[in-house]
Structure 1
Amino acid sequence: MLAALLGAVVLFVAGCGGEPKSSTAQTTTTTAAAVDPGAGAGNFSIAVPGSLAGDFAALQQGFRGSLGLAIMPVDGEKMVTFGTWTTGPAWSTIKVPLAIAALRNNASYSTTATAAITASDNGAADTLWQSLGSGAAAAESVQNVLREGGDTNTTVPAVRTRSDASIYGQAEWSLADQVRFAAHLPCLPQSQRVVGLMQQIVASHRWGLGAFGSAEFKGGWGPDPSGKYLVRQFGLIDSPSGRIAIAFAAQPDSGAFADGMTMLDKMATLISGHLGELAGGNCP
């Protein structure tokens, strides 16, 4: 029985890029590793030593705080998720759909979008937001981009919820919804300009997914009301079989930004050692 389950893990991960599309995206979610054996079969949590799941479990065990990782092939339907952290404020990662919405609305904001994405410039992002009209109109425009990317859940606020943070950055964006959006991002109409900017992130922000030379990514980070930082990133990397969407986050018990950044570096290193296990995909 165990051998059969382990075989299912290998087939699932290696085959997720070629799965025919269905109307409902499928998600495999676990604490450390996951297999969804089907309705009525129960839930299993398997972390095979030396596998991505096993190595992630070991990494998480040695970390004081919460980690989360979600992986999905570009234009795919299935995802795998790991860890205990699942959702939180988008922070600057939401600047990606914001920039797409703004450039679709007015291409003359190209320079502003460049600053918002490559340097995570908050003033530039605010300008993009304001270019979309009222708070409600801007929120709807950004949310529409998310919906195009397969994220049917995330709601973008129309009004400020924290005086010390942007309106849009406080959107609650789960890793599952974010990686699904990332998996469809390069296939969206008029997204190429922003995806290209995600490959030009400034040197000081090139931690985590920045370790992959071909990565197109965006980070976001900020403190909760008590001052403890959440650090997160999402983006696209190459695998031997195509492009892979990644979303991950760390929320250290220490609350220190540096500790969260270090854990994203470690998760990126972990992923790089297991790329052969992960099937990628490409836009049709």
Structure 2
Amino acid sequence: MRTGKAARGAGRSSGGVIPLKAMGATTFAVLLLLCGCGSGADANPEEAGAASSVTGGATGGDTGESLLVTIPGTLAASVVELQGTVRGGLGMAIMPVGGQRAATFGDWRTGPAWSTMKVPLVIAAARNSPGSYTSAASSAITASDNSAADTLWQSLGTGKEAAQAVEQVLREGGDTATTVPDTTTRSDASAFGQSDWALADQVRFASQLPCLPQSEQVITLMSKIISSQRWGLGTFTSAEFKGGWGPDAQGQYLVRQFGLVSTDTGQIAIAMAAQPDSGTFADGMNMLDKLADVVAEHIGELTGGSCPA
């Protein structure tokens, strides 16, 4: 099992192209993260192996057209390379803890939260009934137990009250967009699990998670995920993470994770998701394993962070 503090090393020699919004926050964030220029670290693009060049242009500032930024030998290039070898949607977002901007990769953007929404749910329940439901919280996070999560949800009151409590935690974590349903939309799925949670919003929440009041319990539990669920981010020994997975109405699985990984410069928040064309959970899990391998290869390019003092 890999550690989260990989030494800085040479990136892959092959190049790649990643589409980025012209002059937007994502462009800045990718260059910031891959150059190792954020969170107080000295800027040293050459050390990070992040020689970058603009290879395309946008046709007008308000059209939403994108620039093509080639970053040979870096994380962005390797994600593009990986996408060419898998069948299905793949996405990832990365942000330093306590940071302000995220970098996004891949073509998958948003979908049901599934069990990843159990993280803010546990915080909401802990705040509502301090010292209670500790066993349910442990099972909900470490083993992704749905019955335990339902107990926590019901402890928050009516469906509307529970949804509002979980949304409040999301708002405190910087996610200003995600809404939590107060009723189930499917008989085989929880209301909170069907929340549409974009990777960009999820990674922003993850980047603020250690900074939230009463988040210590859930973060500790996220470091104790059972062995059968330690794929993807779980292959980092330093990771504090939570996975979520489930089928759509046609039985096609979405598999996703988010969490925190330690680096020499602090923690980084990562959110990732895979939706294989085959529709199987196993293929989605394998896609996230491969994506985690790519992150591990380039972990030295990423600048971590910490909560504001």
TM-score normalised by L of structure 1: 0.88
Give yes or no for contact 1:228–1:256 (8 Å, CA) kept in 2: yes
Alignment partner, residue 236 of structure 2: 212
The reply to whether residue 238 of structure 1 matches residue 257 of structure 2 is no
C-alpha distance in 2, partners of 1:113/1:184?
A: 20
The change in CA–CA distance for 1:137 and 1:158 in structure 2 (over 3 A counts) is same
Deviations, residues 51-80 of structure 1 (Å, cap 9, x unaligned): 111110010011111000000000000110
The change in CA–CA distance for 1:34 and 1:173 in structure 2 (over 3 A counts) is farther
Count how many residue pairs are aligned between Structure 1 and Structure 2.
Answer: 266
Alignment partner, residue 66 of structure 2: 43
Structure ranking higher in helix proportion? 1
Alignment partner, residue 98 of structure 2: 75
Deviations, residues 192-227 of structure 1 (Å, cap 9, x unaligned): 011110000000000000111010000000001000
SS in 2 for 1:164: coil
Q: CA deviation at 1:49?
A: 3.1
The reply to whether residue 181 of structure 1 matches residue 216 of structure 2 is no
**Residue correspondence of structure 1 range 192-231 to structure 2 within 5 A:** 192-231=216-255
The change in CA–CA distance for 1:50 and 1:123 in structure 2 (over 3 A counts) is same
C-alpha distance in 1, partners of 2:211/2:83?
A: 33
* Residue segments in structure 1 that go unaligned for 5+ positions in a row: 20-32
Give yes or no for contact 1:214–1:238 (8 Å, CA) kept in 2: yes
Alignment partner, residue 102 of structure 1: 125
**Residue correspondence of structure 1 range 240-255 to structure 2 within 5 A:** 240-255=264-279
C-alpha distance in 1, partners of 2:181/2:281?
A: 25
**Residue correspondence of structure 1 range 1-284 to structure 2 within 5 A:** 10-11=31-32, 13=34, 14-18=36-40, 40=61, 43-106=66-129, 107-284=131-308
C-alpha distance in 1, partners of 2:271/2:29?
A: 23
C-alpha distance in 2, partners of 1:101/1:36?
A: 45
Higher relative contact order (CA 8 A, sep 6+): 2
Q: CA deviation at 1:122?
A: 0.2
- Identity in percent: 61
The change in CA–CA distance for 1:261 and 1:138 in structure 2 (over 3 A counts) is same
Alignment partner, residue 7 of structure 2: none
Two-structure CA RMSD over aligned residues (Å): 2.5
Give yes or no for contact 1:229–1:260 (8 Å, CA) kept in 2: yes
Q: CA deviation at 1:11?
A: 4.7
C-alpha distance in 1, partners of 2:256/2:218?
A: 19
The change in CA–CA distance for 1:263 and 1:36 in structure 2 (over 3 A counts) is farther
Q: CA deviation at 1:48?
A: 2.7
Q: CA deviation at 1:140?
A: 0.2
Specify the code of the residue in structure 2 equivalent to 1:59: L
TM-score normalised by L of structure 2: 0.81
C-alpha distance in 1, partners of 2:214/2:151?
A: 20
Deviations, residues 209-248 of structure 1 (Å, cap 9, x unaligned): 0111010000000001000000000000011211000000
Deviations, residues 163-191 of structure 1 (Å, cap 9, x unaligned): 11111100000000000000000100000
The change in CA–CA distance for 1:53 and 1:36 in structure 2 (over 3 A counts) is farther
The change in CA–CA distance for 1:7 and 1:132 in structure 2 (over 3 A counts) is closer
* Residue segments in structure 2 that go unaligned for 5+ positions in a row: 1-22, 42-53
Specify the code of the residue in structure 2 equivalent to 1:104: R
Specify the code of the residue in structure 2 equivalent to 1:16: G
SS in 2 for 1:44: strand
C-alpha distance in 2, partners of 1:114/1:34?
A: 49
